[in-house]
């Protein structure tokens, strides 16, 4: 018997063609290095304190009759802030006035007894002094002035133009002469006390401009140094004072950053984000014909946004070089890059 074997041949294997994908290039931004002034920055911190500030007390006791302002109100010099019930003080002054008028009559009687007439207005100093004593005029005048002053003290008035702060009492409550009724703040101008290290003091001088940046995010402004304390404290710090006009948002006690800038000429300046760390050393990348070249540098000075730099030993860096300033965190030496359009 003849057997015929049939074998099924498999289909030919499909060839998989893999296309090599082009290597993706990093897109970067660049700047051209140039020598220019670098603003070296000394930074400190301080607090705003108003150029004028006073805690205001009632100087006589009594019940609060009226409170004429609220916290935050702006008031002018001599405006009434609050008043006490003054009935008792007013009556005391009225009595003192009656006593004074009686003393004037008694004084005139004494002068007539010395030979003067009621129409005379010029007396010898000696005769008038005797008449003042005999009539009790001097004492009556002092008592009247004291009563008038006490009555005036029932009104609390602003000693200067400013904003009211710290009112806690209400009408009809008893005024406490041992505690301030309120605080008055002139916030049109502020002072800032801030420290510098003794090694930094040679870089500042009176009337030098400073930049003021509130921690709260309120607007920045410029002030000037108005005081330099000649004493170095136990922490090696020297205290300075700057003055600044209030741009409108500043408040008493606000925390601020104080920045003092000093121009250093002929520096190679790059943004801080142009510098990265490689092998624990500072580098930046120079761009030449589509290639990023790893360049070691030394940072000479820094401020809030920039470094002044120079090439490290064995490296080259000069004005006119093109430097990469973005997308440089993952670059390697001789990476291919293209400039962002």
Closest CA to 188 of 49, 50, 70: 50
Residues 335 and 271 in one domain: yes
Non-local CB neighbours of 243 within 8 Å, separated by 6+ positions: 51, 189, 190, 191, 192, 223, 224, 226
Choose one of 129, 153, 177: the last residue of a domain. 153
pLDDT at 115: 84
CA 40 – CA 303 distance, rounded (Å) = 6
CA 13 – CA 15 distance, rounded (Å) = 6
pLDDT at 114: 87
- The CATH number of whichever domain residue 318 belongs to comes to 2.40.420.20
For the chain, the domain total comes to 3
pLDDT at 12: 40
Closest CA to 66 of 84, 88, 78: 84
Strands 80-84, 74-75: pairing is: unpaired
DSSP code per residue over 149-190: HHHHTTEEE-SSSEEEE-----TTSBP-TTS-SEEEEEEEEE
Domain assignment present for 161: no
Domain assignment present for 73: no
Please tell me whether residue 92 adopts helix, strand or coil conformation: helix
Residues 249 and 314 in one domain: no
Residues 46 and 31 in one domain: no
pLDDT at 31: 95
- The CATH number of whichever domain residue 261 belongs to comes to 2.40.30.170
pTM for the whole structure: 0.65
Expressed as residue numbers, the domain containing 103 is 86-153
Non-local CB neighbours of 13 within 8 Å, separated by 6+ positions: none
pLDDT at 304: 83
Closest CA to 46 of 253, 193, 187: 193
Choose one of 218, 235, 265: the last residue of a domain. 265
| Residue-level pLDDT, tens digit, the chain, 341 residues | 444 444 444 444 434 344 444 556 789 999 999 999 999 889 999 999 999 999 999 999 999 999 999 999 999 999 999 999 999 999 999 999 999 999 999 989 998 888 888 788 888 888 989 999 999 999 999 999 999 999 999 999 999 999 999 999 999 999 999 999 999 999 999 999 999 999 899 889 999 999 999 999 889 999 999 999 999 999 999 999 999 999 989 999 999 999 998 889 999 999 999 999 988 999 999 999 999 999 999 999 988 899 999 999 999 999 999 999 999 998 999 999 999 87
Residues 117 and 144 in one domain: yes
Domain assignment present for 321: yes
pLDDT at 217: 85
Choose one of 234, 265, 296: the last residue of a domain. 265
Given a contact cutoff of 8 angstroms between Cβ atoms, the answer to whether 28 and 328 are in contact is yes
Residues 115 and 132 in one domain: yes
pLDDT at 5: 43
Domain assignment present for 171: no
Residues 34 and 47 in one domain: no
Strands 221-232, 209-214: pairing is: antiparallel
Supply 125's token pair.
């100093």
Given a contact cutoff of 8 angstroms between Cβ atoms, the answer to whether 167 and 182 are in contact is yes
pLDDT at 244: 97
Domain assignment present for 110: yes
Residues 296 and 334 in one domain: yes
Domain assignment present for 228: yes
């Amino acid at each position: 018997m003849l057997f015929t074997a049939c074998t099924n041949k498999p289909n030919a294997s499909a060839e998989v063609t893999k296309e090599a994908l082009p290597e993706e290039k990093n897109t970067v931004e660049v700047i051209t290095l140039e020598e220019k002034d670098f603003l070296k920055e000394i930074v400190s911190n301080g607090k705003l304190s108003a150029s004028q500030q006073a805690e205001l007390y009632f100087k006589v006791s009594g019940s609060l009759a009226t409170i004429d302002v609220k916290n935050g109100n702006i008031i002018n010099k001599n405006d009434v802030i609050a008043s006490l019930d003054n009935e008792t003080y007013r009556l005391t002054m009225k009595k003192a006035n009656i006593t004074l008028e009686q003393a004037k009559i008694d004084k005139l009687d004494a002068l007539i007894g010395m030979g003067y007439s009621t129409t005379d207005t010029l007396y010898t100093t000696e005769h008038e002094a005797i008449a003042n004593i005999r009539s009790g005029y001097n004492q009556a005048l002092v008592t009247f002035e004291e009563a008038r002053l006490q009555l005036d003290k029932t009104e609390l008035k602003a000693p200067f133009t400013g904003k009211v702060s710290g009112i806690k009492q209400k009408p009809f409550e008893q005024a406490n002469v041992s505690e301030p009724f309120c605080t008055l703040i002139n916030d049109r101008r502020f002072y800032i006390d801030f420290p510098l290290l003794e090694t930094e003091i040679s870089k500042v001088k009176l009337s030098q401009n400073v930049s003021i940046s509130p921690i709260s995010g309120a607007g920045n402004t410029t002030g000037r140094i108005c005081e330099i304390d000649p004493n170095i404290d136990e922490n090696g710090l020297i205290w300075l004072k700057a003055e600044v006009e209030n741009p409108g948002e500043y408040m008493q006690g606000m925390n601020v950053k104080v920045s003092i800038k000093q121009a250093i000429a002929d520096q190679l300046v790059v943004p801080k984000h142009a510098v990265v760390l490689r092998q624990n050393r500072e580098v930046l990348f120079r761009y030449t014909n589509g290639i990023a070249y790893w360049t070691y540098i030394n940072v000479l000075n820094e401020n809030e946004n920039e470094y002044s730099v120079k090439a490290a030993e064995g490296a080259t860096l000069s004005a006119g070089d093109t430097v990469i300033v973005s997308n440089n965190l993952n670059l390697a030496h001789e990476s291919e890059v293209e400039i962002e359009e």
